[in-house]
Structure 1
Amino acid sequence: MTTNSEKKKISQKELKQIYIRSCQLDISWDYERQQHLGYSYGMTPVIRKLYPGEEHKEKRIQALKRGLEFMAITPQLSTLLMGINAAMEEENACNPEFDGNSINAVKTSLMGPLAGIGDSLIPGTLRIIAAGIAISFAQSGNIMGPLLYLLIFNIPAFIIRYYCLKYGYGLGSSFISKVADSGIMQKISHYAGIIGLMVIGGMICNQIWLNLPIMVGSGDFAEPLTNYLDQIMPCLVQLGLFGGMYFLLGKKVKTTTILISLIIICCALCFIFR
């Protein structure tokens, strides 16, 4: 790097701030861009360090906007992405020829695979193990139950955050090329995609409820229409509703518009068929 880059080099102070702020990634979660506010908050110390003063105001604004793009990742692995992001922002601040658009491209390409792997290993595995051990103590009234849960889950989680940030910043933008050359990224993306589809399928049948009150038949043989549709395929109604919402999102309909419309339609149908 040039002499100018040495003046702008990110210090341990900024990396510690990223580490602490990453713990608040989900504090301002929303349906449209999910973790984008928490992610931008975590990257703010680095951006302020790299683009100080009024002379860099426009670059600072652009960097903050990059942090506000859609973000969905396992919080414990978010520091890997933040570390790589910080290294690339540092290069962008020091090298006039660096393409700032590549920062979001890297974030987007890593976000999905990291979320798929992280959700399976941490909430899906580590949390279950911690809860299983803690419950066996808590059932007998032992105070160690909740304490063990906090320790078993959080100690590995904070260690993962630390090393992800360390190696993410150390690898920087070269992370993508190194992983691509090894061929691991294709395998990670493939298996993460399978896991993601399984999770989405499970969420559709467990998190979406829609019972059609329309009765088919008469007398003792009358049954709700939902029962007949479930015989064709279980949770077919939920799948249809999810497909409709997914179609509207593809047509650039706002999430808030869809949610408000669903509330109004459901209230109206409940009033009609009560």
Structure 2
Amino acid sequence: MNKTPVLTKKDINKAAIRWMGMAVNTYTYQYQQAGSIVYSLGPALRKIYDNDDEYVASLNNHFNYFNTHPWMASMVLGAVLGIEDEGGIDAKEAVQSFKIGLMGPMAGIGDSLIWVLYPTIMGSIAGYMALEGNMTGILIWLLLNIIFMFVRVKLFHLGYRSGTKLISTLGDKLNLLTESMSILGLVVAGALIPSVVKISTPLKYTSGESVTEIQSILDQIFPFMLPVLATIIAYKLIKSGKISVTILILMIVVLSMICAAFGILA
């Protein structure tokens, strides 16, 4: 049963801001982000439902399992408010199905684009500029994060206006975008290896009066072979789950000191 929407732009903004501040702060193994959703949407749902029983039923419905990338969740939760604002409590089942259907694709996009690609690029740029004594990269990164806060609010509004049409609008484009961002992230990370990972060897091979640098031979076979091999090994160790990132960093530091002391690596 359709009803007259009651939420205003201010209500949507409030829900978006509450979500940004609480997205994963109530994270649990059983319900994941459900508690944060209830906190974020609570005031808006109270305005939608005058009836206490309907309001409680809606909150309980949102206290079901949900987990996706916090930034991309803004669009999903905005759409949820649009669905409930128009359909009322009768849309309860559709709301949960809608959330479950989109949380996987949205997580794929967010993880590839925001968790991997964005910090890899900006972190490398900021780190490289910092090594040169320039803090511009860090300031740009900070400014972009502030801008993205406004973008996340806009995503809430986009979702609210789209409602269930969000699925038909995005459709198969979600899977294509997820795969494209994953590939792009790997390409960018690979391209950054030579400029970020600095490993070379000063070892030389002597045959009679001929002295050959091992590093020059490696560069002829595969440029930046040592940085690439080191990155692959580190990735394999992390992916295995047997070694934590902290332990891996300590191993790299110790190994670097030993190899530098014996003149193996530079």
* TM bin (shorter chain): 0.5 to 0.7
Alignment of structure 1 residues 86-101 onto 2, 5 Å: 86-93=81-88, 98-101=90-93
Contact 2:83 2:164 in 1 (8 A): yes
What residue in structure 2 maps to residue 167 of structure 1? 158
Alignment of structure 1 residues 7-86 onto 2, 5 Å: 8-24=5-21, 25-52=23-50, 56-86=51-81
Distance 2:107 2:80 in 1: 16
Structure 2 counterpart SS, 1:71? coil
Q: How far off its partner does 1:91 sit?
A: 2.1
Q: How far off its partner does 1:172 sit?
A: 0.9
Bigger drift between 25-34 and 61-70 goes to: 25-34
Q: How far off its partner does 1:59 sit?
A: 0.8
Distance 1:15 1:203 in 2: 43
Alignment of structure 1 residues 195-206 onto 2, 5 Å: 206=239
Bigger drift between 105-114 and 137-146 goes to: 137-146
Gaps of 5+ in 2: 187-234, 244-266
Greater Rg, structure 1 or structure 2?
2
Distance 2:123 2:144 in 1: 9
What residue in structure 2 maps to residue 229 of structure 1? none
Q: Which whole-Å deviations, capped at 9, do the CAs of 1:113-140 have from their partners, x for residues lacking one?
A: 0110111111111111111121123224
Q: Structure 2 length as normaliser, TM-score?
A: 0.62
Check 1:36–1:132 CA distance in 2 against 1; reply closer, same or farther (3 A cut).
Answer: same
Q: How many residues align?
A: 191
Gaps of 5+ in 1: 211-274
Report the aligned-residue RMSD.
3.0
Q: Is 2:97 the counterpart of 1:105?
A: yes
Check 1:29–1:143 CA distance in 2 against 1; reply closer, same or farther (3 A cut).
Answer: same
Q: Structure 1 length as normaliser, TM-score?
A: 0.60
What residue in structure 2 maps to residue 231 of structure 1? none
Alignment of structure 1 residues 239-258 onto 2, 5 Å: none
Contact 2:126 2:137 in 1 (8 A): yes
Partner amino acid for 2:27? W
Q: Which whole-Å deviations, capped at 9, do the CAs of 1:185-242 have from their partners, x for residues lacking one?
A: 56568x49x99xx9xxx899537328xxxxxxxxxxxxxxxxxxxxxxxxxxxxxxxx
